[in-house]
Structure formats: structure tokens, C-alpha cells
């Protein structure tokens, strides 16, 4: 059987019996499952589970035999999840999440051991809405895998303006997903899902390839080989063995100079300091430039700026958008700009929406701006025909 498969079962089919060894969990897409246990030689109904609910997962995690029998009370359509998949997911989880999960499981087992069958049923009902959310997420994950294979993911590009020269200096590549049934999916939502599931690794490489390819076309269009492309890099990608080498190979295969690629990491990633520092050194040795994204919103100490060999600070849009509303935000913005200039970094201000923003930023000494004043993220063809 595949590791995750959708299967149909007839009414009366016994999925597992009390005492069986466990190797699968099930999520109910449709139908009803009766959970029973043997008491005094008779099967007692513990609960009935319906669409969105999960069953059989506990035995997989704690390696125990089934503690109840599960029978299809009607014809059922189930997502069958093999133990290896579940174990791999838990192993791959962030160590804090893994630890919390293990603690939660221990408490849950402890509670189950001391409760009557009727209170177990109430708990099952309370878990149903959470299970429904989990099911939706799992479905979206299956769709995202398919989206990558079927080319539903596209890069759009937002120009980065040189405020001093008054022309486009480069672009940031941003991913869009047009789901065949659900339409455009919010980028933050599917990027987070991709990060949780490691799909961000193949998605990131796919984007990089597309962005390099399109950068060549933009450079050729204006005969300017200095145009650069910013690429977002997430923490999961840095953890992936061979990531730096794969990035280098793609950029070289597409015929783009690594100096024209800016790799953007967010401030919070810097908390994993040693890994990030090694990755920056390796990437810079390959010729890439490194940008610190969403600066001002994370938790890194300012001292880290001295130890990381960055090229660019990207000031988060929240500071630009609040600079005329609050004296405090204006001072923080000014201080960040002075800090960046003092460290001889390029500065890109995000979220530039008005000419007043632009004029003020230019007066502060910011060289680059990105935001709706110049353009929203646009597709390759829109850029080639309208922007230059």
C-alpha cells in the first residue's frame, strides 16, 4: 500500500481489532466508524467517528497493540496513513514541537487510562474540529505536492527601485499558487505549509530556476547585466544537506552570475547563528550576496549584525508605513538606516506606497525602495511589455 492513500471500505469491514499490532492510522473522509471494546464477552460501543476524525494514531506512536476494535458502520472513504509516514513526520518536526507532542501524548494516555468510556466519547467530539482542520491541511499538502509537479506554482516579480538613479535596480521573486479549484492561495499560508513539510526545498529550487531564467530575459530586454534578483530562503532550506551546492548549480546552469542573486534570509533565522553564519560564508564564497529581510521585526541582537557578513538590510514595511504616524517609529526607522549606512550595507526599504515615503527615505540616505508606488508583484510578460 502507498504511504498515504485514499481507500474505500464496505459497511461491516473491520479495520482493526483490539489486541492487533498497529501499522496504520486513518482519517475519515466520509462514512462512520464504530469504536468498540470487549467487556464481559460483548462488544461495547465506545464512540462513533465521522468525517474529519482520525483513528488508530495512538497505537502507531506509542508502539502498543490496538486498544479497541474499529468497524465501518457504513461504507467509508478513508485516508490511510502508514506508520512510517507518521514516524518520519514526527522525527522531522522541530525539536520543540516534537517534545511538546510527546508530552501531550503522555498526558493524553494518562487521562485515557483513568476515564470512563462516556467521557472518552466527549473528548472524541472535541477533537473532531481539530481533526477537520488537520484533514484540510493534509489535503492542501497533497495538492501542493501536485501543484509543484504540474507547474501550478509561478513566480511573480516585484521591482526594487534605485531611489537615487530613478530606475529599476532589481526584482524580488515571490511565489504564487493558482489552485485549480480554490483559486489563488494566500502566499503566507502555503509558504508556511511548505516550510512545515519540507516541500519548501523543491519549491525553492523550482523558483530559483524560473527566477534566473526570467532575470536573463529582463537583463537582455534593457541590456543591463547589473539587474539583480532577490530570492527568499527559509530556515528549512538551510537545514537541507547540499542546499548551497544545489543553488550554485542552478544559477550556473541558467547562465546567471551569482553576484546578481541576492539571497534573503529573515532576522529570526539568525537565532540559529552557527548554521546561518556557515551558510553565509559558503554562499558568499560562491559569489552570492546576502540580504537580511524584515529587519526590525525579529529578535536578533544588534551585535549579530557585526558578526554576520551581510550585504543588504531590508527594512520591514511596517516601519515605512508608520513613519508619518508615530514619532517613535520615525526615530526607529532613522536609527536603523544610520546603523545600516554605518555598517556600509545597502538598504532596501519595503512597503513604499507614496511619494512622501520615497522623498523621506531618499533624504535619510536610503538608496533602494520596494513597494506599490513602483509596482505590485508582476508576471514575467507584464514586466517585459510594460515596465522597461
Q: 135-164 mask for ligand C2E (x: CB under 6 A)?
A: -----------------------x------
Stretch that binds ligand C2E, among 59-67, 109-117, 243-251, 369-377 (CB under 6 A): 369-377
Closest distance between Ca ion and the C-beta of residue 315, in Å?
Answer: 9
Q: Which three cell numbers stand for residue 47?
A: 464512540
How far is the C-alpha of 128 from the C-alpha of 106, rounded, in Å? 20
In the complex, the smallest distance separating the C-beta of residue 249 from ligand C2E, rounded to whole angstroms, is 18
Q: Considering the complex, state which of residue 174 and residue 310 has its C-beta at the smaller distance from ligand C2E.
A: 174
Contact between residue 59 and residue 39 where contact means Cβ atoms under 8 Å apart: no
Q: In the complex, what is the shortest distance from the CB of residue 377 to ligand C2E, in angstroms, rounded to a whole number?
A: 5
Q: Is 294 in the site for Ca ion (CB under 5 A)?
A: yes
Residue 377 interacts with which of ligand C2E, Ca ion, none, CB < 5 to 8 Å by class = ligand C2E
Number of residues that bind ligand C2E (CB under 6 A): 20
What does 234 bind: ligand C2E, Ca ion, none (CB cut-off 5 to 8 Å by kind)? ligand C2E
95-113 and 83-92 are packed helices; what angle lies between their axes, rounded to 10 degrees? Answer: 130
Find the binder of ligand C2E among 187, 235, 296, 298 (CB under 6 A).
187
Minimal distance in Å, beta carbon 15 to ligand C2E? 39
312 binds, among Ca ion, ligand C2E, none (CB under 5 to 8 A by kind): none
CA distance 46 to 283: 57
User: What count of other Cβ atoms lies within 10 Å of the Cβ of residue 243?
Assistant: 19
What is d(CA 52, CA 40) in angstroms, rounded to the nearest whole number? 32
Euclidean distance between the first and the last CA atom of the chain, given in angstroms as a whole number: 54
- The smaller minimum CB distance to Ca ion, of residues 57 and 293, is found at 293
124 contacts ligand C2E (rule: CB under 6 A): no
Distance in Å, CB of 233 to ligand C2E, minimum: 6
When asked if residue 289 is in the footprint of ligand C2E (CB under 6 A), the reply is: no
The residues pairing with 178 across neighbouring beta strands, listed in sequence order, are: 184
Exactly one of 2, 42, 91, 188 binds ligand C2E (CB under 6 A); that residue is 188
> Are residues 333 and 323 in contact, defined by beta-carbon separation less than 8 angstroms?
yes
Draw the binding track, 216-255, toward ligand C2E (x: CB under 6 A; -: no contact): ----------------x-x---------------------
Binding of residue 50 to ligand C2E (CB under 6 A) = no
Q: Can you tell me which of 301, 306, 372, 379 binds ligand C2E, judged by CB under 6 A?
A: 372
Tell me whether residue 41 or residue 242 sits nearer to ligand C2E (CB atom).
242
CB 17 within 8 A of CB 43: no
Member of 175, 244, 291, 312 binding ligand C2E (CB under 6 A): 175
| Contact of 173 with 211, CB cutoff 8 Å | yes
Neighbour tally for 241: CB within 10 Å: 7
Task: Tell me: does residue 48 bind Ca ion (CB under 5 A).
Answer: no
How far apart are CB 369 and ligand C2E at their closest, in Å? 9
Which residues in 305-344 contact ligand C2E (CB under 6 A)?
Answer: 317
Neighbour tally for 383: CB within 10 Å:
22
Q: How many residues bind Ca ion (CB under 5 A)?
A: 4
Does position 294 interact with ligand C2E (CB under 6 A)? The reply is yes
C-alpha 347: how far from chain center:
26
CB 285 within 8 A of CB 264: no
Rounded to whole angstroms, the Cα distance separating 349 from 161 reads 10
The DSSP secondary structure of 129-154, one letter per residue, reads HHHHHHHHHHHHHHHHHHHHHTT-EE
Q: Which residues pair with residue 157 across a beta bridge?
A: 173, 378
User: 312-315 and 346-350: which strand pairing?
Assistant: parallel
Contact 172, 264 (CB under 8 A): yes
Give the side-chain half-sphere CA count within 13 A for 299: 5
Q: What angle do CA 52, 56, 59 make, to 5 degrees?
A: 145
Residue 158 within binding range of Ca ion, rule CB under 5 A:
no
The reply to whether 264 sits near Ca ion by the rule CB under 5 A is yes
Residue ranges binding ligand C2E (CB under 6 A): 158, 174-175, 187-188, 191, 200, 204, 207, 232, 234, 293-294, 317, 351, 353, 370-372, 377
Residue ranges binding Ca ion (CB under 5 A): 232, 264, 293-294
Amino acid at each position: 500500500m502507498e504511504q498515504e492513500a485514499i481507500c474505500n471500505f464496505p459497511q461491516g469491514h473491520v479495520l482493526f481489532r483490539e489486541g492487533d499490532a498497529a501499522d496504520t492510522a486513518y482519517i475519515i473522509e466520509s462514512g462512520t466508524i464504530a469504536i468498540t471494546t470487549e467487556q464481559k464477552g460483548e462488544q461495547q460501543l465506545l464512540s462513533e467517528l465521522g468525517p474529519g476524525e482520525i483513528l488508530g494514531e495512538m497505537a502507531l506512536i506509542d508502539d502498543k497493540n490496538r486498544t479497541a476494535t474499529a468497524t465501518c458502520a457504513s461504507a467509508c472513504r478513508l485516508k490511510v496513513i502508514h506508520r512510517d509516514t507518521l514516524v518520519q513526520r514526527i522525527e522531522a518536526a522541530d525539536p520543540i514541537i516534537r517534545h511538546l507532542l510527546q508530552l501531550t501524548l503522555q498526558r493524553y494516555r494518562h487521562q485515557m487510562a483513568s476515564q470512563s468510556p462516556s467521557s472518552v466519547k466527549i473528548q472524541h467530539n472535541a477533537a473532531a474540529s481539530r481533526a477537520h482542520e488537520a484533514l484540510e491541511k493534509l489535503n492542501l499538502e497533497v495538492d501542493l505536492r501536485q501543484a509543484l509537479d504540474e507547474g501550478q506554482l509561478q513566480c511573480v516579480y516585484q521591482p526594487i527601485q534605485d531611489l537615487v538613479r530613478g530606475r529599476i535596480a532589481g526584482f524580488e521573486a515571490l511565489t504564487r499558487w493558482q489552485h485549480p479549484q480554490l483559486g489563488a492561495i494566500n502566499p503566507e499560508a502555503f509558504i508556511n505549509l511548505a516550510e512545515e513539510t519540507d516541500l519548501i526545498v523543491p519549491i525553492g529550487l523550482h523558483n530559483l530556476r524560473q527566477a534566473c531564467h526570467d532575470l536573463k530575459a529582463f537583463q537582455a530586454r534593457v541590456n543591463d547585466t547589473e539587474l539583480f534578483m532577490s530570492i527568499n530562503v527559509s530556515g528549512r532550506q538551510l537545514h537541507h544537506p547540499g542546499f548551497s551546492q544545489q543553488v550554485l548549480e542552478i544559477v550556473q546552469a541558467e547562465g546567471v552570475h551569482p553576484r546578481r542573486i541576492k539571497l534573503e534570509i529573515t532576522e529570526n533565522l539568525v537565532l540559529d547563528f552557527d548554521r546561518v553564519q556557515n551558510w553565509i560564508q559558503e554562499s558568499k564564497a560562491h559569489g552570492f550576496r546576502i540580504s537580511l529581510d524584515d529587519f526590525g521585526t525579529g529578535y536578533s541582537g544588534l551585535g549579530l549584525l557585526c558578526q554576520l557578513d551581510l550585504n543588504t538590510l531590508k527594512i520591514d514595511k511596517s516601519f515605512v508605513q508608520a513613519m508619518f504616524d508615530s514619532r517613535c517609529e520615525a526615530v526607529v526607522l532613522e536609527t536603523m538606516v544610520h546603523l545600516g549606512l554605518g555598517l556600509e550595507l545597502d538598504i532596501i526599504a519595503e512597503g513604499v506606497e507614496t511619494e512622501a515615503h520615497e522623498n523621506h527615505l531618499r533624504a535619510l540616505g536610503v538608496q533602494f525602495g520596494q513597494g506599490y508606488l513602483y509596482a505590485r508583484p508582476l508576471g514575467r510578460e507584464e514586466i517585459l511589455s510594460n515596465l522597461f
